[in-house]
Every structure is written in C-alpha cells, then in structure tokens.
C-alpha cells in the first residue's frame, strides 16, 4: 500500500493567499513524519501560470529528507524536469488529460502536444534513474466537455505506457466520478496494465472520494493519492474542489483492518503549519478545547465538511 500525499502540491496550488516558503517546508517535513510513503512536494510549472508554487526550488532545498519517503515533483515540460532534477526530486510526474479542452486550458497544448513534451522528459528521467508518473486528468468527467468515455481514457493510458511512463495516476479532476464509474474504467484498464502501475487520484467535490478509493481498492489498486485536510483543486478546472482527505482514506482503510502506517494526529499537526494561511471557506482546525466535527474532526464555527457538525 502506498499513500501519496499531494497536499503540498495539489493543495497549495489552489490557495488564493500566499503561503510562506518556510510554512510549506514545515508542512512537508511534518507530513513526512506522519508515515505517508510519498509526498508530491511542489510543481516546476510556469510561475506565470501557477504563482503559488513559484518557490518550488526553495522548498526542495530546505526540506529534510526522511529516509524511506519519496519526494516527487510535478513537471509539465523539459524545463520543469531539469529544475526538478537539480532540486533533487526522487520522482517526477507529468500530466495530461483525456479532455482536449482541459488540456488547452491547463497546459496550453493538445493531448498530442503533451505527449510530445513527455518524450524528452522520459528519456532524461531514464538517464537520471528517476521514475515517471503520468497523470490522466478528467478521466471521468471534464468541466468543459462533460462525461469522458472510458475507452478514450484507456487509449490515452496506452499511449503513455508506450512512451515509457512507469505509473499512471487515474485522476478525477473535478471530483464527480461515482464508484460504479471507477469500477467500469478499471474493468477496462486492468487487463491491459497491472494494478501495481496504477494510482488513483480522486477529488472530493461530491463527497464520493472515499467511496471511490474503496472501489479502486477492491479492484486491487494499492497506490492512493490524498491530501491532508482535503486541500486541493486545480486553478484551471472550474468547480474542482479538494482532494480526498488523507485522514479520511486512512480511517476508511483502517476500518477495513489494513494498517496504513499513517498517524492521523500527525497529519493534523502538519496542517497546523499552514492553517493560518488558508482561506476560510474550507474546513479549518478546531481551536484548542472546541469540539470537532464528528465526520472530519475539523470545525471552528467557521466551516468544516458540514456533514455531521457537533458545534453550532
Ligand atoms: P506556455 O505559456 O504555453 O509556455 O505554458 P511557454 O513555453 O510559452 O512559456 C511561458 C513562460 O513560462 C516562459 O517564460 C517560460 O520560460 C516559462 P517567459 O519567457 O514568458 O518569462 N516556463 C517555465 N518556467 C518555469 N518552469 C517551467 C516553465 N515552462 C515554461 N517548467 C506551460 C505552458 C505548460 C508551461 C503552462 O501552461 C503551465 O505551466 N501550466 C501548468 C498548469 C498547472 O500547473 N496546473 C495545475 C496542475 S495539473 C492538476 O492539478 C491536475 C492533477 O492534480 C491531476 C487531477 O486532479 O486531474 C495533476
Ligand atoms: Mg488533482
């Protein structure tokens, strides 16, 4: 089982207020102490497009490297790969989408154009001995194109595997997939690609993130992306909200009897490093002594997941 903590990248790319570099570093270091296997630390994308992560190199330079934790970086092109390599990333993640429209909005090119960009990245990663993840965004639904046919997702995965990408992250960018849709896609995909090379990356817009993780788990997927506190979202995907929360995934898997090795209290401690900088229209940490929401354990009288609030 691998829990990939994407909060420092997917979470912080979507914040409107700046988060100081030192707070990001403390967040990553505390997350590493929680027992997660991999942390997507930041993204070497254009700072014009995502200014929130313009300090990726500084974050990488300052984090403590905990033994056994893989520190990865999102990269859109060869320029980003070179920066990630220089920063000492253990792994890189490239990204494309099954939707042409979303790709244009997010990376200013087509699906074909994105794959052309991946070729030099994969070649350089092989030379450097770095594994490459490939995200397939809008694998179920797109904010612009609506429902995405599973066959087109599988065809795209085939192309990514052909160019040498090691791990495919099936991504529900706008958090609209249902467990049945997850099962349907994995039924088509897994005869072609071993489950060990597939990760799932669910956003939780409609509260189905955990159900989708469990559906994928039942299909043998053991690499699960999640974000402490349910942070996340893509600035170029209208309506995308946070990733499924790491603590929710941990709870769900442990309730099934699996030892995730992740300390949920440490996830909360990690969030404390960035909490003062988060916008307040999301779940926030309870003040000392105040009762927490029974579902998400976050509440302040501001906003939490709102599902089972125990406070007024
Ligand atoms: P472009 O404007 O077409 O690119 O953007 P360009 O080559 O013309 O470059 C424009 C400027 O950016 C230039 O600088 C480049 O040097 C610079 P200028 O000459 O104008 O000063 N530049 C870079 N700087 C630093 N690092 C780089 C880099 N590349 C170019 N790597 C580009 C194309 C791909 C660069 C741009 O569209 C981009 O950066 N997009 C990233 C968008 C993004 O990060 N979106 C969120 C992440 S994806 C996501 O969240 C989904 C995911 O979570 C899965 C899911 O949930 O679905 C992964
Ligand atoms: Mg995402």
Tell me which ligand sits closest to the C-alpha of residue 94: 1
**Which positions ≥6 away from 185 have C-beta within 8 Å?**
139, 140, 150, 153, 154, 170
Beta-ladder partners of 2 = 223
Q: Determine the longest span between alpha carbons in the chain, in angstroms.
A: 57
Distance 76 CA to ligand 1 centre (A): 6
Distance 168 CA to ligand 2 centre (A): 13
Please report the pLDDT score of residue 46 as a whole number.
98
CATH dotted code for 2-285:
3.20.20.70
Contact criterion met (CB below 8 Å) for 268 and 297:
yes
Distance 137 CA to ligand 2 centre (A): 8
Distance CA 207, CA 164 (A): 34
Domain ranges of the chain: 2-285
**Owner of token pair 């000392």:** 288
| pTM for this entry | 0.92
For residue 281, count CB atoms less than 10 angstroms from its CB and return exposed for 0-12, middle for 13-18, buried for 19 or more: exposed
Q: Which residue blocks in 8-77 are alpha helix, DSSP H?
A: 21-32, 56-62
pLDDT in tens, the chain (312 residues): 999 999 999 999 988 888 999 999 999 999 999 999 999 999 999 999 999 999 999 999 999 999 999 999 999 999 999 999 999 999 999 999 999 999 999 999 999 999 999 999 999 999 999 999 999 999 999 999 999 999 999 999 999 999 999 999 999 999 999 999 999 999 999 999 999 999 999 999 888 999 999 999 999 999 999 999 899 888 888 877 889 999 999 999 999 999 999 999 999 899 999 988 886 544 445 555 655 565 555 554 444 555 444 443
Which of 46, 73, 102, 223 to mutate to test ligand 1, by most ligand atoms within 8 A of the CB atom? 46
* Ligand 1, atom 25: closest residue by C-alpha: 46
Please report the pLDDT score of residue 99 as a whole number.
98
Q: End-to-end alpha-carbon separation of the chain, Å?
A: 38
Please report the pLDDT score of residue 273 as a whole number.
93
Residues with CB under 6 A from ligand 1: 10, 13, 43-50, 76-77, 79-80, 83, 95, 106-108, 135, 137, 171, 173, 201, 203, 234, 236
Residue by residue, DSSP assigns 78-92 as HHHHHHHHHHT-SEE
- Going through 21-139 in order, the beta strands assigned E by DSSP cover 38-43, 70-74, 91-97, 132-137
Q: Which residue blocks in 133-274 are alpha helix, DSSP H?
A: 150-162, 179-189, 209-218, 246-255, 264-272
Tell me which ligand sits closest to the C-alpha of residue 56: 1
Q: Which atom of ligand 1 is nearest to the CA of 243?
A: 56
Neighbours of 18 (CB within 10 A): 13
Give the Å distances, CA to CA, from 207 to 199, 202, 241, 244. Answer: 19, 10, 10, 8
């Amino acid at each position: 089982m691998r829990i990939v903590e994407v909060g420092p990248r997917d979470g912080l790319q979507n914040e409107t207020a700046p988060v100081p570099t030192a707070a990001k570093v403390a967040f990553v270091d505390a997350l590493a102490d929680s027992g997660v296997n991999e942390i997507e630390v930041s993204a070497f994308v254009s700072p014009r497009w995502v200014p929130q992560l313009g300090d990726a190199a500084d974050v990488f330079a300052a984090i403590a490297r905990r033994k056994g934790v893989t520190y990865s970086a999102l990269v859109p092109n060869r320029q980003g790969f070179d920066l990630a390599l220089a920063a000492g990333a253990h792994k890189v993640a490239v990204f494309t989408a099954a939707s042409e429209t979303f790709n244009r909005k997010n990376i200013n090119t087509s699906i074909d154009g994105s794959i052309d960009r991946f070729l030099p990245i994969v070649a350089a990663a092989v030379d450097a001995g770095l594994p490459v993840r490939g995200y397939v965004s809008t694998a179920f639904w797109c904010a612009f194109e609506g429902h995405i046919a599973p066959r087109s997702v599988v065809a795209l995965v085939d192309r990514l595997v052909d160019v040498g990408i090691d791990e495919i992250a099936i991504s529900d960018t706008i958090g609209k997939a249902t467990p049945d849709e997850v099962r349907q896609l994995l039924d088509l995909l897994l005869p072609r690609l071993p489950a060990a090379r597939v990760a799932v990356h669910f956003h939780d817009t409609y509260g189905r993130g955990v159900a989708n993780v469990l559906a994928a788990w039942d299909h043998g997927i053991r690499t699960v992306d999640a974000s402490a506190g349910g942070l996340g979202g893509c600035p170029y995907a209208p309506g995308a909200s946070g990733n499924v929360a790491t603590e929710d995934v941990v709870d769900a898997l442990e309730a099934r009897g699996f030892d995730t090795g992740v300390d949920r209290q440490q996830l909360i401690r990690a969030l404390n490093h960035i909490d003062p900088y988060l916008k307040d229209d999301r779940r926030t940490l309870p003040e000392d002594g105040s009762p927490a929401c029974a579902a998400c354990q976050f509440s302040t009288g501001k906003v939490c997941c709102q599902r089972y609030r125990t406070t007024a």
